Chain A
Amino acid sequence: MTQEQTEPAVRARGVNKRFGSVQAVQDVDFTVSSGEIFGLVGPDGAGKTTIMRMLAGVLRPDTGDILVDRVDVASDPEQAKLHLSYMPQRFGLYEDLTVAENIFFYGELFAVPRDERIARSQELLEAAGLQAFRRRLAGQLSGGMKQKLGLVCALIHTPRVLLLDEPTTGVDPVSRRDFWAILYNLRESGVAIVLSTAYMDEAERCSRLALLHEGVIRHCDTPARLKQAMPGVLLAITSAHPRLLREALAGKPGILGILLMGDRVHVRVDDDLHRIPEMLELLAGQGVTQSDVTRTEPGIEDVFVALLGREEAV
């Protein structure tokens, strides 16, 4: 392999950003390779958008370097912008322009040759299921269609790095499926994708994840390895009174974490063989009914709570 191929598409090193007295992003390091979907996961205010904006070259880090496609974003943002595409969290297209006009505009800003623009917009509109809406004003599209149009505009110049800030927030399931189909295709063609999300099911689809909390990356790995890193065993308990159940178990010996999941409760224990009988006894004593206790595979949400919870407990 040549040096060029091994150099990651995105490299962030020691990135810090402070707004007033708030340290929004602290010592962030990560790399994203071509053909990878890198997910930034965390609650609101964790610093996802700030990191995205710094990668896109519209916000300057206080310290640290960011290389996008081997170009230093801080020192030469305009050069970096030729190779990247950024879709902000808030819909950034012109609502008083039609679908086709928005695509034309962004194509021209990136000086895409006419024939290429036509062919590519045809292909992208088809993939997004938007061909029928070419003449519709962007403001009259549904939330999901707007986001797909945003993606089409972002991809019209065939970027090597794609930055998506919570792209599927408020998007219907059908549009989300279209959206992800396009992202998988891009990954196949070697585009590096950085995506922030608050949806845990979406996080599972990423190649690698960075779990962000208060501006710090707490863990960064593939979803599978993050799950393995989670200590203890996860039990799913179905109950008619999940809240009572949580109260009954909270703080008891061997209970590492409890997470409400609708009508089920995910309980993480250090040793399932010993703890299950103990728990059942305890619940029976308190009169909390439960129908079923099974071992279950953790989702990213469990991992997130477990890993961050452990950090906080220390």
Chain B
Amino acid sequence: MNLRRCYALAFKETLQIWRDPRSLAVALLMPLMQMGLLGYGVSLDIKHVPLCVYDQENSQESRAVVNRFVSSGWFSISHNLDSQSAIRNAMDRGECSAAIIVPVNFSRTLAVDGSAPVQAIFDATDVNTTNIALGYTQGVIASANAQIEAKWAAAHGITPSRVGQVDLEPSTWFNETLDSRNFIIPGVVAVILALVGAQLTSLTVSREWERGTMEQLISTPVTSLEVMLGKLAPYFVIGLVDAAFCLASSIFWFKVPFRGSFLTLFVTTALFSVVVLGIGYLISVRIRSQLGASQIALLVTMLPTTLLSGYTFPIDQMPAIIRAISYIVYPRYYVTILRSIFLKGSGLSNLWAPVLGLLTYAVIILWLASRAFRKRLD
């Protein structure tokens, strides 16, 4: 290998990137745009579920129950209705996804029987939202019950017995506010870098074939390893700048707590960049048209990355076979690494498994890529 030739190729490639400011702008701004879209768009928290209320009694007790829903923060009342059919209509129109009906003799039943039914109706077309809203509802009712029980006991001069009960005192670590954004944003960064990185290099070799510069290049003594290193070097820098943009916006804009070290972050990000750029390069060597290479790069990175990297869909909930497949989806390692560095402050010693995964990937990809480029036309 001749470093001088590597340097000449890197220099040439840099000039070409520099002379194409539109592509450069896309390369640098697209990740930021995607950060905005995915960072704001993807959230697993469901707040302010629109709720219809049909309070048939409208007593102090019934209003107290309704208020509990509102004050929980999970629900906001969209309509106060006065018939069953109005609820049906509101749901049909999509104006609410949950409804509660407090029956007409609610407070009397409660006083006499010690318990009274409240009906909750959910629009279950969206199962995830319904499950979460159902959970919220049970939480709200449980806390209402506790209060009613306490009140009832106080009224009858009885101290509620606490004997023989198990109390759960939950303590959430690493993401104390249980904000799904803290969990998702690092994953979004990994997904964006995986997509953008492969796009960046997917054009670099196919462009030479398309413009007819390859025939002359392969008639020189340059080796395929030199071509690979020379071409990857400038994109590695761009990839790192993209990563810096995305990571900085996670920390300073989306306020994801950052507890790790920047050195760990840099080392692992650089390693991940090598993998994603190498994959783009490998595609570029194989596909001789720019459009084709870019499409293939999108295809092979987009679906596996969004579905199997674990950035929103938890991998341990998947069937065993899919879990096994997810090990070849390289962004999963970086998703794990970023979450650990951000939220747990993990160092390399704790991250050896995913780092080893990425390292293995990098070695295999670079080995394949350095051999894939053939200095021949046939």
Nearest opposing residue in chain B for A81, CB measure: B221
Question: Residues 9-39 of chain B: 1 if any A CB is under 8 Å from the residue's CB, otherwise 0?
Answer: 0011001100110000000000000000000
Given contacts A58-B377, A59-B376, A96-B16, contact A108 B219 (CB under 8 A): no
Q: In the complex, A59→B244 CA distance in Å?
A: 44
21 contacts between A and B (CB under 8 A): A53-B215, A53-B377, A56-B219, A58-B218, A58-B219, A86-B215, A90-B212, A90-B215, A92-B215, A95-B211, A101-B12, A101-B15, A104-B8, A105-B11, A105-B12, A106-B220, A108-B4, A108-B5, A108-B8, A111-B4, A150-B216
* Minimum Cβ distance to chain A for residue B151 (Å): 79
Decide yes or no whether B222 CB sits under 8 A from chain A.
Answer: yes
B223 x A78 contact (CB < 8 A): yes
What total of chain B residues lie within 8 Å of the partner, measured CB to CB?
28
Decide yes or no whether B213 CB sits under 8 A from chain A.
Answer: yes
Enumerate chain B interface residues (CB-CB to A < 8 A). 2, 4-5, 7-8, 11-12, 15-16, 19-20, 211-223, 375-378
A94 x B223 contact (CB < 8 A): no
B220 x A110 contact (CB < 8 A): yes
Given contacts A105-B8, A108-B5, A109-B8, contact A58 B15 (CB under 8 A): no
Q: In the complex, A58→B222 CA distance in Å?
A: 13
* Minimum Cβ distance to chain B for residue A81 (Å): 5
A94 x B12 contact (CB < 8 A): yes
Query: Given the complex, which residues of B lie within 8 Å of A105, measured CB to CB?
Result: 8, 11-12
Decide yes or no whether A91 CB sits under 8 A from chain B.
Answer: yes
Question: Residues 92-134 of chain A: 1 if any B CB is under 8 Å from the residue's CB, otherwise 0?
Answer: 1111110001001110111100000000000000000000000
Decide yes or no whether A87 CB sits under 8 A from chain B.
Answer: yes
Query: Given the complex, which residues of B lie within 8 Å of A57, measured CB to CB?
Result: 219
Which residues from 55 to 97 on chain A have a C-beta closer than 8 Å to any C-beta of chain B?
A: 56-60, 77-78, 81-82, 84-88, 90-97
Enumerate chain A interface residues (CB-CB to B < 8 A). 53, 56-60, 77-78, 81-82, 84-88, 90-97, 101, 104-106, 108-111, 137, 150
Query: Given the complex, which residues of A lie within 8 Å of B215, measured CB to CB?
Result: 53, 58, 86, 88, 90, 92
Nearest opposing residue in chain B for A94, CB measure: B213
Q: In the complex, A109→B16 CA distance in Å?
A: 17
Q: In the complex, A110→B378 CA distance in Å?
A: 24
A82 x B221 contact (CB < 8 A): yes
Q: In the complex, A56→B219 CA distance in Å?
A: 6
Residue of A92, A104, A150 with most partner-chain B CB within 10 A: A92
Query: Given the complex, which residues of B lie within 8 Å of A56, measured CB to CB?
Result: 219
B212 x A91 contact (CB < 8 A): yes
Q: In the complex, A56→B220 CA distance in Å?
A: 9
Partner of B212, one of A86, A88, A110: A88
Q: In the complex, A57→B222 CA distance in Å?
A: 13
Query: Given the complex, which residues of B lie within 8 Å of A53, measured CB to CB?
Result: 215, 377
Residue of A77, A101, A108, A137 with most partner-chain B CB within 10 A: A108
Q: In the complex, A92→B211 CA distance in Å?
A: 8
Nearest opposing residue in chain B for A104, CB measure: B8
Nearest opposing residue in chain A for B6, CB measure: A108
Query: Given the complex, which residues of A lie within 8 Å of B7, measured CB to CB?
Result: 108
B221 x A109 contact (CB < 8 A): yes
Residue of B7, B12, B223 with most partner-chain A CB within 10 A: B12
A109 x B15 contact (CB < 8 A): no
Query: Given the complex, which residues of A lie within 8 Å of B222, measured CB to CB?
Result: 109
Question: Besides the contacts A105-B8, A108-B5, what 13 more A-B pairs have beta carbons closer than 8 Å?
Answer: A58-B219, A90-B215, A92-B212, A92-B214, A93-B216, A94-B213, A97-B15, A97-B16, A97-B19, A109-B8, A110-B221, A111-B4, A137-B19
Partner of B216, one of A82, A87, A101, A110: A87
* Minimum Cβ distance to chain A for residue B371 (Å): 15
Query: Given the complex, which residues of B lie within 8 Å of A81, measured CB to CB?
Result: 219-221
Query: Given the complex, which residues of A lie within 8 Å of B15, measured CB to CB?
Result: 96-97, 101
Residue of B4, B16, B219, B377 with most partner-chain A CB within 10 A: B219
* Minimum Cβ distance to chain B for residue A138 (Å): 10
Query: Given the complex, which residues of B lie within 8 Å of A88, measured CB to CB?
Result: 212, 215-216, 219
Q: Which 9 A-B pairs have the closest CB atoms?
A: A92-B216, A108-B8, A86-B219, A90-B212, A88-B215, A109-B220, A96-B19, A56-B219, A81-B221
Q: In the complex, A60→B378 CA distance in Å?
A: 8
* Minimum Cβ distance to chain A for residue B209 (Å): 11
Query: Given the complex, which residues of B lie within 8 Å of A137, measured CB to CB?
Result: 19
Query: Given the complex, which residues of A lie within 8 Å of B20, measured CB to CB?
Result: 96
Q: In the complex, A104→B11 CA distance in Å?
A: 10
Nearest opposing residue in chain B for A163, CB measure: B219
Query: Given the complex, which residues of B lie within 8 Å of A78, measured CB to CB?
Result: 221, 223, 375
B16 x A58 contact (CB < 8 A): no
Q: In the complex, A77→B377 CA distance in Å?
A: 13
Residue of A58, A85, A111 with most partner-chain B CB within 10 A: A58
Q: In the complex, A256→B5 CA distance in Å?
A: 58
Partner of A58, one of B12, B19, B375: B375
Q: In the complex, A58→B374 CA distance in Å?
A: 9
Q: In the complex, A270→B376 CA distance in Å?
A: 49
B375 x A77 contact (CB < 8 A): yes
Query: Given the complex, which residues of A lie within 8 Å of B8, measured CB to CB?
Result: 104-105, 108-109
Query: Given the complex, which residues of A lie within 8 Å of B16, measured CB to CB?
Result: 94, 96-97
Query: Given the complex, which residues of A lie within 8 Å of B5, measured CB to CB?
Result: 108-109, 111
A59 x B220 contact (CB < 8 A): no
B216 x A86 contact (CB < 8 A): yes
Given contacts A58-B218, A109-B220, A111-B5, contact A93 B376 (CB under 8 A): no
* Minimum Cβ distance to chain A for residue B243 (Å): 27
* Minimum Cβ distance to chain B for residue A17 (Å): 9
Partner of A111, one of B2, B19, B212, B375: B2
Query: Given the complex, which residues of A lie within 8 Å of B19, measured CB to CB?
Result: 96-97, 137
Nearest opposing residue in chain B for A85, CB measure: B219
Query: Given the complex, which residues of B lie within 8 Å of A95, measured CB to CB?
Result: 211
Q: In the complex, A133→B9 CA distance in Å?
A: 23
Nearest opposing residue in chain A for B215, CB measure: A88
* Minimum Cβ distance to chain B for residue A105 (Å): 5
Query: Given the complex, which residues of B lie within 8 Å of A108, measured CB to CB?
Result: 4-5, 7-8
